[in-house]
Structure 1
Amino acid sequence: MIREVVKRVLSGESMRSTVADLRTREITTSAARPWTQQSLSRLLRNPRLAGLKTYLGDVVGKGNWPPIIDEDTHRKLLELLDAPERKQPFATNVRKYLLSGGFLVCGYPLPDESGAGTHIDGKPLYTQPSNSGKRGYVCRSGSPSYGCGRIRIAAESLEEEVAARALARLASPKVRARLERAVGSAINGEETMTEVLGAIEDRLEEAGQAYAKREISLVTLKAIEIEAHREQKQVRERLAQAARLQSLPATTPEALAEWWVDAPLERRRELLALVLDRIIVKPATRAGVVHLDVDRLEFVWK
């Protein structure tokens, strides 16, 4: 499947149509999830496809597993995917929304496969202005998340509410003390955390070699990969939390609020990430309400 996709993309087929075809054929990722343009792009950029070993994201040599594509094809893929003309006009890496990038998830109830209950959609909300130009967050029914498409919430009032709650938590001595305890080991042991990440990479490589030699099954390999990636995420988050806490600009509610007014958006987002994991946005209970309905919001704090 990977070789097929590589050939199609290199021949000029768009990522959007390739993903749509994979979803129509019900070909999923290794984690049994539907493909998105982002997940397919990550796969195609992965040096491991060309038999290249990586450490902390950098290629450090050749691995001991059979490559799926050759190195020349890998280079052509990177050149194609990074080509300036593939980027959308006026695209920018500078965020314009405080809560974009995973802070918000869709809380629309969907029926379970068994029909015995419901579960939330859980897809990330994306930024999208309304027809009148007002900023908002929506659950997209199409690419890249393929969510329910039934949730929308205005950005301005939501961001004001989130900022007020987050600043109050950041100024709380109890929360600050908990944060300092939680990340203390990461602050003082960054080298140890780096060694842990290296050990996880080695474990993934060993699992890949064992699978290539048919010493373990594909199911076992995937279980090892899922657990390893979960551990990597935890370690990297601890390191990031430590850096954010060290750069916290003030400790009192008044000082934090004063700093917030003129702070760059990315610095505000870093502060939010200290205490906020995500917000589940549920359906509106009343149509036509212009003010923020806080009952729609379920805060999940760290």
Structure 2
Amino acid sequence: MRCFGYTDEGRPLPDEARLIRHMAQQAIEGLLEREIAAELNAAGHVTSAGGAWTGKTVSRLLVNPRLAGMRTYKGEVVQKRAYPQVLAEDPDDYDSAEATHKRLVETLNGPDRASTPPTRQYLLTGGLAKCGLCGSNLMAQRSNSKRRGMVCRVSAPYFGCGKIRIAAEPLEEDVARHVLARFGSRRVRERLAEHIGEQAAQRLREELDEVEEKLRKLGEDYVQVPLERETFLAAQKVLARERDNLQARLAKSREVESLPEEITDESLATWWKTADLERRRALVQVVLDHVKVGSATRPGYTGFDAGRVAYVWR
């Protein structure tokens, strides 16, 4: 399987190389691997195998010495500048590429990460917050003062308008208030019940088993029947995405299964206070498709401008 960022022959692919540099910058700035993966998936990017990104695939790619042009043998670097590098924009700047690789290894493989499981830092990444001007997904980005924020990115591969930026914390608090209030409706609570419990999980597991069986059968057909490679890869890509989607839904069903049996305003508010960000996000996605963040409606106002935010409910 080819390395992401390169052709089968080992030549850099400019679009994927730019994406790798963007991912590297995000990781060094402190964004977690799973959050980077969520942004990639929301933007429609796939791995070199045609599958969805995960935190593990992001981490494995970014610490790969190949990106800095280094050849390894049994985990040890045996030759520098053996391949074209993609971590620095200048193809000849191997020194910068090697320095970036070192920082990535220290960041992603450091003892702090190994001893402490990573936790999500943003509630609304992955398409839950969109630019109200151009419709692009808002991406996580800290300010110069290290405060969490969400922005519409202009640069590749996002190509947004770049005109929207909002502080993440007050936006997330506003979303929490609206989402919890939404569960005052009996119809919405009934919808929530469809997403939790053993019956819902069993349905998802059965669908997942069917998709995995189709993938297995497709592989057998490719070996036994003369399928064209392009046809096989296209079918495999569709089934792999369906499998990844079902796995994500099954994970979400587990994330909200800790909800109290009797859903009331009080019990849900208590649950929200103690739930981690993954479980909160799973609950949000039951009722919220996304929020649109527009331009400021109160020029000069430095607090949270609720008039900028429009809710699109499921």
Pairwise same-fold verdict (TM > 0.5): yes
Match of 1:282 in 2: 294
Q: TM-score, normalised by structure 1?
A: 0.59
The CA distance in 2 between the partners of 1:21 and 1:162, in whole Å, is 30
The CA distance in 2 between the partners of 1:77 and 1:149, in whole Å, is 44
Secondary structure at 1:149 match in 2: coil
Match of 2:263 in 1: 251
Q: Structure 1 residues 161 and 200, CA, compared in 2 at 3 Å: closer, same or farther?
A: farther
Shift of 1:138: 1.0
CA contact under 8 A between 2:130 and 2:290: conserved in structure 1? yes
The CA distance in 2 between the partners of 1:97 and 1:279, in whole Å, is 14
CA contact under 8 A between 1:10 and 1:77: conserved in structure 2? no
Shift of 1:76: 7.3
Unaligned stretches of 5+ residues in structure 2? 21-38, 57-71, 78-86, 88-100
CA contact under 8 A between 1:244 and 1:274: conserved in structure 2? no
Shift of 1:289: 3.0
Shift of 1:295: 3.9
- Check if 1:153 corresponds to 2:153: no
Shift of 1:195: 1.1
Match of 1:267 in 2: 279
- Check if 1:142 corresponds to 2:140: no
Q: Aligned-pair RMSD on alpha carbons?
A: 4.8
Q: 2:186 corresponds to which letter in structure 1? A: P
Match of 1:67 in 2: none
Match of 2:212 in 1: 198
Shift of 1:19: 1.6
Match of 2:202 in 1: 188
Unaligned stretches of 5+ residues in structure 1? 23-36, 49-56, 58-74, 110-119
1:73-110 alpha-carbon deviations (Å, 9 max, x no partner): xx9799999x885346489633333323442223323x
Q: TM-score, normalised by structure 2?
A: 0.57
CA contact under 8 A between 1:204 and 1:228: conserved in structure 2? no
Q: Structure 1 residues 3 and 170, CA, compared in 2 at 3 Å: closer, same or farther?
A: closer
Shift of 1:175: 1.0
Percentage of matched positions with identical amino acids: 33
CA contact under 8 A between 2:148 and 2:169: conserved in structure 1? yes
Instruction: State how 1:110-259 maps to structure 2 within 5 Å.
Output: 120=135, 122-129=136-143, 131-142=144-155, 145-181=158-194, 185-202=199-216, 205=219, 213=226, 215-216=227-228, 218=230, 224-225=235-236, 227-249=238-260, 251-259=263-271
The CA distance in 1 between the partners of 2:248 and 2:205, in whole Å, is 15
Shift of 1:152: 0.5
CA contact under 8 A between 2:140 and 2:151: conserved in structure 1? yes
1:39-71 alpha-carbon deviations (Å, 9 max, x no partner): 8x9635x499xxxxxxxx9xxxxxxxxxxxxxx
Match of 1:43 in 2: 47
Match of 2:17 in 1: 19
CA contact under 8 A between 1:127 and 1:135: conserved in structure 2? yes
